[in-house]
Structure 1
Amino acid sequence: MKITIAGSLGNIGKPLTNQLISAGHNVTVISSNVSRKDEIEKLGAKAAIGSVADSAFLKEVFTGADAVYTMTPPNLGGANVILNTTEAGKAFASAIKDTGVKRVVMLSSIGADLPNGTGPIAGLYNIEQLYAALDNVAITFLRAGLFYTNFYNDVPMIKGLSIMGSNYPADISLPLVHPDDIAIAAAEELQKPSAGKNIRYIVSDVRKPLEFAKILGSAIGKPELPWVEFTDEQALTGMIQAGLPTEIAGLYTEMGAGFRTGKIASDFQKNNSPVSGQTKLEDFAKEFAHAF
């Protein structure tokens, strides 16, 4: 198969590329960074350098592809994030339609069933709606849990204040996922026959924030590391003080509130979706300790 994937050689893109090449497919990797070209080609893939917001570029890259994997960069542009994410989705949808691609796997998120109140996830809701309107193309919306790798953002807080925390409580259950498990699921979906529009949740573990602190804390020699619930105002102020743009800090605060109320994870829980990923929180804790 000829398969085009977005996401460059990031935490998902690189293992996905390796899996598809190992399976004998002809793979093209989209990257906005020209310095990635040599690395992509060393893996045995073709590099396509350009912007995922450029529909003309995407049409060129998608032409002749049997399947495509799409994703939009987080915090696209740093400002007007929801609008920029949605516009990139429009470029993808236009290229898919105009080139007649028949198989698409889109990286989405838990909470993408909701139009608002979910922070940056709202952009993925918009893109799912755009893709759902496409005719004659089989699409899997790969709704991922909360990335384990987001915990790396907590390292300064742990080192500076000896706490972990956010604006949701310690005793709620949250779906988590490792990027490697997303890559495995994406590779499976890209290579298997499919029809219509389908949702697949990809989650590696379901745990509580009090367990985040205990398990990650134990891995770094801080077994008593507490989870602290912040108010929305405290969370917003803290992220801004840490250097996040005000808009992005506001979106993440809204997302945290969505976790707190349970709305973001509600569809995953309501549908009794399986926890199919292989990497549990204890496994990731070893990676976290190595990076810490």
Structure 2
Amino acid sequence: MNIVLTGSLGNIGKPLTQKLVKKGHSVTVISSKTERQKDIAALGAKAAIGKMEDVDFLSKAFQGADVVYVMATLGNQSFFDPNIDIVEDMTQLGKNYKTAIERAGVKKVIELSAIGADKDSGNGNLIFHYNIENILKQLPTDVSIKVMRPSGFYTNLLRSVQSVKDKGVIISNYGGNQKEPWVSPMDIASAIVEEMESTFEGRTVRYIASDEISPNEIADALGNAIGKPELKWQAITDKQMLDGMLSMGMNPQAAKGLVEMQTAQGDGTLYEDYNQNKPTMGKVKLADFAKEFAKVYNN
């Protein structure tokens, strides 16, 4: 198949590209960075370099695709840019995707959304995934869409490396022994490949998770992996968390959104629809990620 991927070569994009090329598909990877061109070519894929804000570029890149994979995600720098409206910018990207899909005549779409995207409130920054899902629903009915809703990424825990080094704790505004789903980007890539190679019909939603584990279990596993078995997951108040992020220079909208999202993780409301539609767990477990965490920590 001729497959077009957005998202460049990130945590999901790189393994997704590798898996699809290995299976013999013709893969085009869209990136905004010219320097990515050689890395994309090295994987056996074609590069399409341009801006996501450029609908004409996207329409041309999508032309002739059997399947298009669209995603909207925030780079770490976005969290610290005070001049952007994260929700509005990501929602606009969804509108750009919709227009480009229509112009290019694409009939099969896979969208990377997120857990919590079933909710129109109470999900923090994840609201933009809700917005994009609903924008793409406005496509003509002959366009089949597979929505992928992964749970929280293991790799997000790497943001805690510095607090573990400096304070000996993982800090959040929730904690305890309540299990919640986490996922590896490798398992997300595998699920996307599986969906690309299976029948498209209508509009479907698939949750993706690798393991269900509690904050305390995460602290135990990561602590043992780095030789600090005493490591704890420390819950602080919403205000303490918000104040801490703002003092670091985080975009206020992003900071408030993270607090709201993690509150919903803690009280379980983020997982209500997931719990009604639980997926088969992926292959990458917490113990596997703990090794990755230890490598980053020790570097």
Counterparts of residues 89-238 of structure 1 (less than 5 Å): 89-135=94-140, 136-238=142-244
**8 Å contact 1:114–1:125 — kept in the other structure?**
yes
Matches of 1:125 and 1:194 in 2, distance apart?
A: 22
Aligned sequence identity (%): 44
**8 Å contact 2:206–2:279 — kept in the other structure?**
no
Please list the CA deviations of residues 94-133 of structure 1 after superposition, one character each: whole Å capped at 9, or x if unmatched. Answer: 1111211111111111100001221111000000001122
Amino acid at match of 1:199: V
> Cα distance, 1:171 vs. partner?
2.2
Amino acid at match of 1:230: I
Matches of 1:177 and 1:291 in 2, distance apart?
A: 18
**8 Å contact 1:68–1:190 — kept in the other structure?**
no
**8 Å contact 1:117–1:254 — kept in the other structure?**
yes
What TM-score, normalized by structure 2, do the two folds share?
A: 0.94
Please list the CA deviations of residues 31-80 of structure 1 after superposition, one character each: whole Å capped at 9, or x if unmatched. Answer: 11111011111111111111223211110100100001111121695421
Which SS does the other structure have where 1:61 is aligned? helix
Q: Which runs of 4+ in 1 moved over 6 A?
A: none
Which SS does the other structure have where 1:3 is aligned? strand
Out of 234-243 and 54-63, give the one that drifted further.
234-243
Out of 192-201 and 66-75, give the one that drifted further.
66-75
Matches of 2:250 and 2:227 in 1, distance apart?
A: 28
Q: Could you list the runs of 5+ residues in structure 1 that have no partner in the other structure?
A: none
Please state if 1:83 is matched with 2:84: no
State the partner residue of 1:13. 13
Q: Could you list the runs of 5+ residues in structure 2 that have no partner in the other structure?
A: none
Out of 76-85 and 120-129, give the one that drifted further.
76-85
Task: Count residues in correspondence.
Answer: 291
What TM-score, normalized by structure 1, do the two folds share?
A: 0.96
Matches of 1:211 and 1:144 in 2, distance apart?
A: 20
Amino acid at match of 2:121: N
Please state if 1:277 is matched with 2:286: no
Amino acid at match of 2:90: T
Q: Kindly report the root-mean-square deviation, in angstroms, between the aligned alpha carbons of the 2 structures.
A: 1.3
